Structure 1
Amino acid sequence: MLVSDTLTRMEGCGVKLDIDHATDLPVYEQERAQDEAGVPGVIRDSSIPSRIADEEIVVKVHAWAMNPADAMVQDIALPFIKYPLILGEDITGTVESVGSAAATKFQPGDRILGLALGAAVAKPEQGAFQDYVILDYNMACKIPDTLSFTDASVFPLCIATAAQGLFSKEYLGLPFPSTTTAPNSTGKSILIWGGSSGVGSNAIQLCKAAGFEVVTTCSARNAEYVKDLGADKVFDYTDKDVIDQVVTELDKGECIGILQAAGEPSPSCQVAHKSKQTLRVAASNPVPEGAAPEGVEAKMIFASGGAVIYHETNQATFAGYLPEALANGTYKVAPAPETVPTKGLEGIQEALDILKKGVSAKKLVTLAN
């Protein structure tokens, strides 16, 4: 039975309904709920909300991509996370219903990628790991027919994290990317530590689109991979002299700052400390007390929560640069998706278990049934 059928029957019985926007969707779906930390999620039936706000869209999921944050929240009871919840951030799918404000950008049938922030904003209906997801339309982006749902699913959280760290004034404050910006047109460089990671792969491309020379680190086996994304200078992070090598390279000219895209922030903080320039560090992971030497500013990037939805960086990236860059093919799928054998919500735990063992230069994806 569809929600609209149920509402019609209720109205016929004299029931008055206060509805922002009624959805024409099945009444029930399935979700993978995380009731507590330290245990696998549980698949169960759930009702689909019969109303959405003006700025919301309902998306039928075609693919979910996994992030380290999903594995961490599943295993560790973080103080700022409330259980039970629906995990997951990265989805692709088709728009099924739109609120009145969202209708200015999206229509039913649109193919989109989206960043689901349910766990961060304590709204289970906005968590990714379910059949239908409600998104704020500001966290969605249309994808061209030439881009598969599988490929597009690797983008949302990686792009949001990289963009916040790079372009937000709270972090490095770079100028926004554009499809018309000439390569290296600023004459300045930036260091991306961990260029083959999910955040790093996207940070490289965003920095090139903003006109910066990109210096990055990765393992020797991933050097060609990051060069293909646009990296200009690549250093092997396992080299015992890598800190000094990177500092020497950065100090040849003007460096705008450092994005620690993966791992502990200590290496980036060491580079900033040794450089003759004043370099800020934006880190994708927590910055422990004492990790940054005196005189070095290092901050963890927060790329989720209500404040991010309406941030100018998000608007400039998801609504400004990304749709055109995806449509003209200049923005590359990175990291490469790797689908797990099991489809549907059953396959999500399989993907998370693989992720916990460690992956490199790829992102695990589960396809919907």
Structure 2
Amino acid sequence: MQNLPNTMLAVRARGPDDLFVDSETPIPKVRPGYILIKVFSVALNPSDYKRLGVFNESVSHTMGCDAAGRVVVCGGDIGQSYKPGDRVAGLCYGMKPQDPSCGAFGEYALLKGSLTMRVPDHVSDAEAATIPVGVNFAGQALYHTLRLPLPLPRLGLGLSTKPPSVLIYGGATATGMTALQFARLSGCHVISTCSPRNFQLVKALGAHSVFDYHDADACGPAIRAATNNNLLYALDCVAAGESLRICAEALTSRSGVATYTASLPVGDRFPRKDVRYGWTSGYTSFGEPTHLAASDAKLRTGVGAAADSDSDFAAWFWKLAVDLLQHDRLRLGPLVHLRQGGLAGVQEGLAELKGGNVSAGKLVYTF
């Protein structure tokens, strides 16, 4: 780590809902399987303020999950995958228990090599910051949990003779906007929900049909009718309010054949016990202990994988995703809501996000 400073500017958590910008944060130490990057851009996610709300460690931790920048140092076991100077985007485990340095919101960030990708030249720094969380979660939810066809038609592994239908509830959320694109690339018939003001955007990103979730009594039955009572898969990117009910009523009435997964824990709140249901956690992609109970990350019936299987799948899927990105198959521009202020602006951005004032994209800060 020669020619690097000893400390950096970073956004840190020091208690529940208590964050600050610390100019004396130690530079993360490189470890085997990881790379250190000089951060150029970061993006905010709901998981950031939700983790902050329950943070209760004895020392301050760096926050954030989405980071993009240039490689500075490669740890052992990286091999020829990356080299200093490479432009990359990768996933951080912000506020990881007992690991104060594993966060994105700093001048430097530590990325796990298997959850990192080279950024193509046609992707801007701001766009690059929107990649990690969305790609990782969409891959785990759509393909590892729901077991939808992979977007690999040229290898004969993608399109089926009768593509399945999938509901992406919350198509105008940041995760929904990414999931829509992958599902469409898989050849699925994609149904989504959002506010009418975002219908055009959601259709442009891959939805064949879109329904207004505001009328909770009509939305689910309308989707079931539109899919001829054959909808077998639902990904709920909201997992709050009426979303569980609407998804339950949209899925086929046939017992024991449908699967629902959410972006948040649903416990026993899902209305139908004849549907395999649960939630998908992106944190298990690290293949390490998480702040979440392992059983909470699985579907009620056991569909869904243990952490080691999640990490193996994630490493494979990230390679697939970078191939799609290099061939310009994923649209990132619509996700970017660029904000000023660099790291110092993150606190205001998190408050904006927590207040429900951000839709159809992610808040992105470049510096």
Q: Is TM-score (shorter-chain normalized) higher than 0.5?
A: yes
Match of 2:360 in 1: 361
1:4-15 equivalent positions in 2, closer than 5 A = 4=2
- Specify the structure having the higher radius of gyration (Cα): 1
Match of 2:8 in 1: 29
**Matches of 2:9 and 2:337, distance apart in 1:** 24
Q: 1:176 aligns with which of 147, 150, 154?
A: 150
Match of 1:241 in 2: 218
What number of residue pairs does the alignment pair up? 339
Cα shift at 1:121 = 5.2
Contact 1:154 1:334 in 2 (8 A): no
Q: 2:100 aligns with which of 113, 124, 137?
A: 124
SS in 2 for 1:262: coil
Q: Deviations over 1:66-105 (max 9, x none)?
A: 001111222x2268x7763211000111111112321321
TM-score (norm 2): 0.85
Match of 1:313 in 2: 313
Cα shift at 1:175 = 3.1
Task: Describe the shift of the 1:179–1:285 C-alpha distance in structure 2 as closer, same or farther (beyond 3 A).
Answer: same
SS in 1 for 2:127: helix
Match of 1:275 in 2: 253
SS in 1 for 2:79: helix
Match of 2:175 in 1: 199
Contact 2:141 2:235 in 1 (8 A): yes
Match of 2:46 in 1: 68
Task: Give the RMSD, CA atoms, in angstroms.
Answer: 2.4
Cα shift at 1:56 = 1.0
**Matches of 1:334 and 1:215, distance apart in 2:** 22
Match of 2:271 in 1: 292
Q: 2:73 aligns with which of 93, 97, 108?
A: 97
**Matches of 1:274 and 1:178, distance apart in 2:** 27
Structure 1: where are the runs of 5+ without partners? 5-23
1:210-221 equivalent positions in 2, closer than 5 A = 210-221=186-197
Contact 2:229 2:253 in 1 (8 A): no
Contact 1:260 1:268 in 2 (8 A): no
**Matches of 1:82 and 1:167, distance apart in 2:** 37
SS in 2 for 1:40: strand
Contact 2:96 2:102 in 1 (8 A): no
Letter in 1 for 2:238: A
Q: Deviations over 1:297-340 (max 9, x none)?
A: 32121111432686233123211x21121112111116521122
**Matches of 1:337 and 1:91, distance apart in 2:** 14
Match of 2:31 in 1: 53
Q: Deviations over 1:162-214 (max 9, x none)?
A: 2111111xx21223323737767542111111111111111111112222111
Structure 2: where are the runs of 5+ without partners? 288-306
